[in-house]
């Protein structure tokens, strides 16, 4: 959530920054409306303060005059004025609450401001490639099969049976497929724990306040699966429960940075994506992911962001999977991100790179929504932390990349050297 005080002081600058995300989204109108409501609410607050002060004066005056034996008529007039003030105050209260609610709703609907270092651009076509790694590991096999065909031939994917059990965009892993997924999860967690992350196993169901805290609600309610009889939602990513573990807390500065990794199943409706990636492991309603989450002081968040990207890259390098790092431009940033790098892994069947991790720095955007602050020793005031997260990695997409990059001419798939101790075999 954006800082209302900063919007009030720099409306043109804030509007220009938001419009660098999208010139057609109407952010200018939203900012103007927000400022109108803010001015009205502040006017009401001043009026209420003045009326309350006069009401308090009347109460004291009535007591003083009564002790002095003032005429009943004088006391009655003052009491009537006091009653009128109380009535006016009672009328102002719901007006002020309604204005505050509308202001908060508008703030919750505004995305984060792009970082000053985020490249300007209208959409994904203007993202910036930062680096590539592993070109020497790209396979030379002619006419490589897509991973879903490989999975079916190897008997490790049972997509049709999964659709029968659930619906489209679900799959079931069988035998060595299930073992490979489990091996990848353990491998990723072990690597990230060794890199300094503390493992968390969080709830898979969260309340609405948690989704609001990390920015999925209210704007993206259609993307998540809701348990309608309870105020609970299936998590779209471990970012939500892990970040919200610290909601409404003031941390000691000495506790920062906090670094967590978490394996969870994740659940997304993928609204608006039908027709894309209908086969395979790329875009499922249910998928496994190892997430990296950090809470940091503002002054170190950029350094921690670069380190987080490196920790996600380290998994791909250990698996010898070719990839590239893309910096997202302002027009392609996610709702809450101020700066974001995507890691895209090479898929030989399509001869293209596909996203396998998105590593974002949210600055204080999520912390304001979730009210996560920290206090330095000896100082009275508390500041908002910066929050960061990224996939380390999306497990199903990693499996897809392994199947395609390590397929052999005889139809077998070699297991990456780093995974062999976990799986206990060299080939699928």
Tell which phi-psi region holds residue 44, choosing left (phi > 0), alpha (psi between -120 and 50) or beta: alpha
Question: Of the listed 283, 368, 369, 373, which one is catalytic?
Answer: 283
Burial 156-178 (b: 16+ CB within 10 A, else e): bbbbeebeeeeeebbbbbeebbe
Quick check: bond before 311 cis, omega within 30? no
Residues facing residue 383 across a β-bridge:
374
Task: Answer for the pair 156, 180: CB distance below 8 angstroms, yes or no.
Answer: yes
Joined together, the tokens standing for residue 159 give 């997509």
Question: Of the listed 20, 301, 358, 391, which one is catalytic?
Answer: 358
Task: Answer for the pair 111, 26: CB distance below 8 angstroms, yes or no.
Answer: no
d(CA 368, CA 247): 10
Annotated active-site residue 355? The verdict is yes
d(CA 94, CA 88): 11
Annotated active-site residue 358? The verdict is yes
Annotated active-site residue 354? The verdict is no
- Helices in 218-284 by DSSP H: which ranges? 239-244
Quick check: bond before 120 cis, omega within 30? no
Annotated active-site residue 268? The verdict is yes
Cα atoms found within 13 Å of the Cα of residue 20, Cβ hemisphere only? 21
d(CA 120, CA 112): 14
Annotated active-site residue 283? The verdict is yes
d(CA 264, CA 235): 9
Question: Of the listed 96, 223, 355, 376, which one is catalytic?
Answer: 355
Distance between first and last Cα of the chain = 48
> Cα dihedral sign for 41, 45, 48, 54?
negative
d(CA 250, CA 252): 7
Question: Of the listed 21, 169, 191, 268, which one is catalytic?
Answer: 268
Catalytic residues: 268, 283, 355, 358, 397
């Amino acid at each position: 959530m954006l800082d209302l005080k900063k919007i009030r002081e720099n409306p043109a600058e804030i509007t220009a920054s938001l419009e660098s995300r999208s010139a057609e989204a109407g952010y200018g109108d939203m900012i103007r409306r927000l400022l109108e409501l803010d001015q009205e609410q502040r006017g009401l607050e001043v009026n209420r303060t003045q009326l309350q002060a006069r009401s308090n004066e009347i109460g004291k005056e009535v007591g003083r005059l009564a002790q002095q034996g003032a005429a009943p008529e004088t006391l009655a007039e003052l009491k009537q004025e006091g009653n009128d003030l109380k009535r006016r105050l009672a009328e102002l209260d719901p007006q002020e609450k309604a204005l505050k609610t509308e202001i908060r709703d508008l703030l919750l609907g505004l995305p984060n401001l792009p970082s000053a270092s985020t490249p300007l651009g209208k959409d994904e076509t203007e993202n910036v490639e930062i680096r590539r790694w592993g070109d020497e590991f790209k396979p030379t096999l002619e006419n490589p099969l897509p991973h879903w065909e490989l999975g079916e031939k190897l008997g490790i994917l049972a997509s049709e049976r999964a659709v029968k059990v659930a619906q489209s965009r679900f799959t079931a892993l069988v035998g060595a497929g299930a073992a490979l997924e489990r091996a990848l999860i353990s491998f990723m967690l072990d690597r990230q724990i060794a890199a300094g992350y503390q493992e968390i196993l969080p709830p898979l169901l969260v309340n609405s306040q948690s989704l609001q805290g990390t920015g999925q609600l209210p704007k993206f309610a259609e993307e998540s699966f809701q348990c309608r009889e309870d105020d609970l939602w299936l998590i779209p990513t471990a970012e939500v429960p892990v970040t919200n573990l610290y909601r409404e807390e003031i941390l000691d500065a000495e506790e920062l940075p906090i670094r967590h990794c978490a394996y969870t199943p994740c659940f997304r409706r993928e609204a608006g994506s039908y027709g894309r990636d209908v086969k395979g492991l790329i875009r499922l309603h249910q998928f496994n992911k190892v997430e990296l989450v950090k809470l940091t002081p503002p002054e170190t968040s950029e350094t921690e962001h670069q380190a987080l990207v490196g920790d996600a890259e380290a998994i791909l390098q250990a698996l010898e999977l070719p990839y590239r790092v893309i910096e997202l431009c302002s027009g392609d940033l996610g709702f809450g991100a101020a700066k974001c790098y995507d890691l895209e892994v090479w898929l030989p069947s399509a001869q293209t790179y596909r996203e396998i991790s998105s590593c974002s720095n949210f600055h204080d955007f999520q912390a304001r929504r979730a009210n996560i602050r920290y206090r330095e020793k000896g100082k009275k005031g508390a500041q908002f932390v910066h929050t960061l997260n990224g996939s380390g990695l999306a497990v199903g997409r990693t499996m897809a990349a392994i199947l395609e990059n390590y397929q052999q001419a005889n139809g077998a798939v070699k297991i990456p050297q780093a995974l062999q101790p976990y799986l206990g075999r060299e080939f699928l």
